[in-house]
């Protein structure tokens, strides 16, 4: 039986917790990734939020790692983010490089972001950007049912719009948090480019979160997710779109993580 859309009322003990609440970072290909537990990551981001510190958050999977390896500008932009590990590929890549498992939890955005939202202070205002028009509207409806936060506004990712006007709309909404669902690497590049002009304190690239929460996409059953096989479930649902990502791109990822670090251009 499938668990349905991602819940916006999950609890931290729904996520696997092993080891100490570490805050080490490990370089996986061109990206430096935080290795910590789910509760510690939530605590770090909420602490930054409460201090008024603007924080950019990305979830690194094999796909984003490959993009960053091919795009030095993107790799440099990701140095400004708190980068969390997403998926078994990152765990296996780290084991190949460091000879041990370094990530205590799988901090994928679909499961982690609702936990973070639950931990934000009462009255937090959230703006949603991305997804198809009906998907972002449904995401806003679901988020509006979370009693302690406010949906400050939303904009889909398909309608043509002036970027300056969009940034002005986000700031006018007095949003504290911005969830950007444009897919990687577009969402990470968008956040890095516009963060200096945005008043929001927490900017997160959330990938397919809106699709899962709205029910547009179906999550794998919980037992499949616990076995870290959700990628196989998604491949079975979308073989034509995802076949390359889970075949040739995996070979490319292995090459990327085992290659010596590229010297930064001066």
The tokens of 158 are what? 């398909």
Backbone angles phi, psi at 59, to 5 degrees: -115, 115
Domain range annotation of the chain: 12-258
**Span 127-136, average pLDDT:** 97
What's the burial of 264, exposed, middle or buried (CB within 10 Å: 0-12/13-18/19+)?
Answer: exposed
CATH superfamily of 12-258: AF0625-like (3.40.50.10700)
Which pLDDT score is estimated for 250?
83
User: Per-residue pLDDT for 88 more than 50?
Assistant: yes
Which pLDDT score is estimated for 241?
65
Give the pTM.
Answer: 0.85
- List residues bridging with 85 in a β-sheet: 60
Question: pLDDT tens, 203-261?
Answer: 999 999 999 898 887 766 777 666 666 666 665 666 666 656 666 788 889 999 998 87
Q: In what order do the strands lie in the sheet with 24-28?
A: 24-28, 31-35, 81-85, 55-60, 202-205, 177-181, 124-130, 149-155
Q: Are 9 and 136 a contacting pair, CB within 8 Å?
A: no
Q: Are 265 and 71 a contacting pair, CB within 8 Å?
A: no
**Span 150-167, average pLDDT:** 96
Which carries the bigger pLDDT value, residue 164 or residue 229? Answer: 164
* Residue among 190, 134, 142, 188 nearest 166 (CA): 190
Find the DSSP H helices in 145-263.
Answer: 163-172, 186-194, 209-214, 222-226, 230-237, 239-242, 248-258
Which carries the bigger pLDDT value, residue 113 or residue 261? Answer: 113
User: Per-residue pLDDT for 14 more than 50?
Assistant: no
C-alpha dihedral (205, 139, 245, 163), degrees to nearest 10 = -50
Q: Are 67 and 185 a contacting pair, CB within 8 Å?
A: yes
What letters, b where the CB count within 10 A reaches 16 and e where it falls short, cover 135-159? bbebbbebbeebeebbbbbbbbbee
- % of residues, the chain, pLDDT over 70: 80
């Amino acid at each position: 039986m499938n668990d349905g859309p991602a819940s916006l009322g999950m609890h931290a003990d729904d996520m696997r917790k092993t080891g100490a609440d570490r805050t080490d970072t490990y370089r996986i290909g061109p990206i430096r990734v935080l290795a910590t537990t789910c509760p510690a990551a939530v605590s770090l981001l909420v602490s930054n939020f409460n201090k008024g510190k603007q924080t950019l958050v990305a979830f690194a999977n094999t796909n984003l790692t490959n993009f960053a390896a091919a795009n030095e500008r993107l790799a440099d932009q990701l140095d400004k983010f708190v980068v969390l590990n997403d998926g078994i590929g990152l765990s296996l890549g780290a084991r190949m490089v460091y000879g041990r498992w370094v990530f205590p939890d799988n901090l994928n955005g679909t499961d982690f972001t609702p936990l973070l939202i639950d931990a934000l202070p009462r009255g937090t205002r959230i703006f949603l950007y991305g997804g198809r028009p009906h998907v972002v509207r449904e995401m806003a409806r679901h988020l509006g049912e979370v009693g302690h936060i406010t949906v400050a506004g939303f904009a889909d990712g398909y309608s043509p719009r002036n970027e300056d006007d969009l940034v002005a709309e986000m700031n006018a909404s007095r949003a504290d948090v911005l969830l950007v669902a444009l897919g990687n690497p577009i969402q990470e590049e968008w956040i890095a480019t516009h963060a200096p002009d945005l008043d929001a304190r927490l900017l997160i690239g959330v990938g397919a979160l809106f699709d899962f929460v709205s029910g547009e996409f179906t999550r794998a059953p919980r037992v499949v997710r616990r076995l870290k096989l959700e990628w196989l479930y998604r491949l079975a649902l979308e073989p034509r779109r995802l076949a390359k990502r889970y075949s040739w791109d995996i070979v490319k990822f292995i090459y990327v993580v085992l290659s010596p670090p590229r010297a930064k251009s001066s």
